Structure 1
Amino acid sequence: MQAKNNGEAATMIGHFNNILCVITSISEQQALVEQALHVAESHQASLTLHLALESLPPNASLVMASFAYIDSQQSLKEEAQERLSAMVDKLNVTERPETLVTVGKPYYDVIQQVMHAGHDLVISQARSGMSGFLLGADAMHLLRKCPCPVWLIHEETARNYKSVMAAVDVNYHFTREENQTRWQLNEAVIASAAEVALLENARLHIVHVYDAAPRHMMRDGLMRSHQQQMDNALAELKKERSEELAELVDSLQQKFDEKSLGYLQPEVHLADGHPAEGLCRMAESLKADVVVMGTVARVGVPGLLMGNTAEDVLSNLDCAVLALKPDGFESIVPKENN
């Protein structure tokens, strides 16, 4: 992948090739569709608009008897397909997106489509609540189980990103295999965040929050240590994480050319505190429009072992999220034959 500077901002050809945009309404998610078109064009990727509808309840034929065009699941699907096609006809695009309508369990149908069509990015929208950003049940299912990256946009900030935050975990005090997974995922997170920053002409922030547990234990009287020993240990921990962060940022040189790196000029932030709380505070402080992060603790077991930190962060963010999973991730949702 190469990025070039046009004098004001770098342009790029990203690594996504086959994008799926999931909508639940034809008339109320124009910002989502525009964002998906924007991303697909920038990545020179194919785009499919997937209208994922809930199944009709068992008594729908009685409750909705006055609506002649809805008398079965099939007629609902056909009507939705006609309206979706009509919406696409009005789009001002050079490449017409493919269209798909499913009626069933939206998250399940989306994952099946990803598996069968080989999509490498899902773009969808989280719900907006009274307190701001809100992840619905389908969004959480996708974050936990979808085998490809999931980009949940915030309607108010779509196509208007100014600040991109990459949340990484450079704690490598685990087994060799898990450390390799963590490093690969961290590299993917900062590379994807850099792509988004280039795509949107936004600032790039790379953030790591580490928890100095011994200090908290001492504060609560659970451990005893000399102040100097504790200070030395904390200084060593900070130095270790700072060096790991620097090495991670250096890996961008393998993926972007000099002009793109010159435009990006990522700002690195190292903070001490509870990781979930600290990442949410950093996102708020940096006015992040989107947070790019990994959502899987380890691979090798079918399904998702979502880390507590990722779960807590996702539940408390008030911005868009681009969630990645490491190579080797296997969804707990089985691939159906049809």
Structure 2
Amino acid sequence: MSIYSKILVVADINHDEQPALVRAIQLAKKSASTSHITFFLSIYDFSYDMTSMLSPDERDAMRKGVIHQREIWMNKVAEPYIDDSIEFNVKVVWHNRPYEATIAEVFSGEHDILIKGTRKHDTLESVIFTPTDWHLLRKCPCPVLLVKNEFWPDHAKIYASVHVGSENDTHIELNDSMVERLLEITGRLNAEPFLVNAYPLTPANITIELPEFDPTSYTDAVRGHHLTAMKALRQKHHLCEEQTIVQQGLPEDVIPQVAEDNGAAMVILGTTGRTGLSAVFIGNTAEHVIDKINCDVLALKPNGYISPLDPNIAK
């Protein structure tokens, strides 16, 4: 069965246009097996719980009425995109923390991927990630795809930001996982796959502390190591040299610039931050990169990641 067959899409309550749903449909229709999409919304209105004039039953009835209205609206906005080739359902829940409700639905529905639209700032022409976005990126157990409000052209370019300079097992496994997901998605969406890697600058303090240090030789050696590692990775996954980019600099500078210069439709990132009970952050590098990228972002967790909201964890 293909990956990403059970898709959870978070609805944008403020707009009839639903770019996240459009992207989910694109993935679902190119799946090798029948896909299931759950169109999800978490809503809450403080006033319904604080109205002392109403009985508990009346407040419950009012909440159910609001939920029903939202379900009608969601079915209406989804109708132009849905056909019989996709199993589709709408789900609305009453919860005061959208990210907790969304992650609970990921667990209960065993979804393969979470897709959510992001906000685009009209003046700065950049994507603004909301607090809910960050919570989902940090704590969601499945891959998270944040979509900006643009239609993908044919032969769109998708970049996987790999970390080939490391010999850490987590990084190596995550590199392979990212490339596999890259090839799966580009194959489905008739897009072009690319790998990008940033290697570090020569530390300036070394040349001061060690006068005999040769920064040029050091830089050449580091670049050579990364080029060799990138070659091994691309050959392992049957990609050609033209589909790889290795540049010097910080990842938070290199990756967004490469994405912008090449018109990337999506960047795939590995979030190799903490795992287990301490999985609160996704890693400073990944956060800085995500904050600068002006296109779709797919964030992948490493094997063994345990969400702090996992219901199987003893509280």
**TM-score after normalising by structure 2:** 0.85
Q: Please, which of 180, 195, 200 is the counterpart of residue 191 of structure 1?
A: 180
1:184: how far off? 1.0
1:51-90 map, 5 Å: 51-58=40-47, 72-89=62-79
**What residue in structure 1 maps to residue 201 of structure 2?**
212
The one-character-per-residue Cα deviations of 1:27-60 (angstroms, maximum 9, x if unpaired) are 5233332221121121235333333233102368
SS in 2 for 1:329: coil
SS in 1 for 2:246: strand
Matched, 1:252 2:244: no
Q: CA 1:319–1:89 in 2, change beyond 3 Å: closer, same or farther?
A: closer
SS in 2 for 1:157: coil
Contact 1:135-1:315 within 8 A present in 2 as well: yes
Contact 2:129-2:291 within 8 A present in 1 as well: yes
Q: CA 1:80–1:70 in 2, change beyond 3 Å: closer, same or farther?
A: farther
Contact 1:204-1:266 within 8 A present in 2 as well: no
Contact 1:203-1:266 within 8 A present in 2 as well: no
Q: Please, which of 181, 192, 204 is the counterpart of residue 203 of structure 1?
A: 192
SS in 1 for 2:170: helix
Contact 2:120-2:127 within 8 A present in 1 as well: yes
Residue type of the partner of 1:82? I
**What residue in structure 2 maps to residue 138 of structure 1?**
132
SS in 1 for 2:47: coil
SS in 1 for 2:264: coil
Q: Please, which of 269, 283, 301 is the counterpart of residue 325 of structure 1?
A: 301
Q: CA 1:118–1:59 in 2, change beyond 3 Å: closer, same or farther?
A: closer
1:87: how far off? 4.3
Number of aligned pairs?
A: 303
Contact 1:18-1:45 within 8 A present in 2 as well: no
1:233: how far off? 2.1
SS in 2 for 1:270: strand
Q: Please, which of 2, 6, 9 is the counterpart of residue 21 of structure 1?
A: 9
**What residue in structure 1 maps to residue 212 of structure 2?**
226
Q: Please, which of 29, 33, 38 is the counterpart of residue 21 of structure 2?
A: 33
Identity percentage of aligned residues: 23
**What residue in structure 1 maps to residue 288 of structure 2?**
312
CA distance in 2, matches of 1:36, 1:159: 15
CA distance in 2, matches of 1:187, 1:72: 50
Q: CA 1:159–1:119 in 2, change beyond 3 Å: closer, same or farther?
A: farther
CA distance in 2, matches of 1:270, 1:291: 15
Residue type of the partner of 1:268? T
Greater relative CO (CA pairs within 8 A, separation 6+)? 1
**TM-score after normalising by structure 1:** 0.80
Contact 1:295-1:324 within 8 A present in 2 as well: yes
1:271: how far off? 0.7
**What residue in structure 2 maps to residue 126 of structure 1?**
118
SS in 2 for 1:326: coil
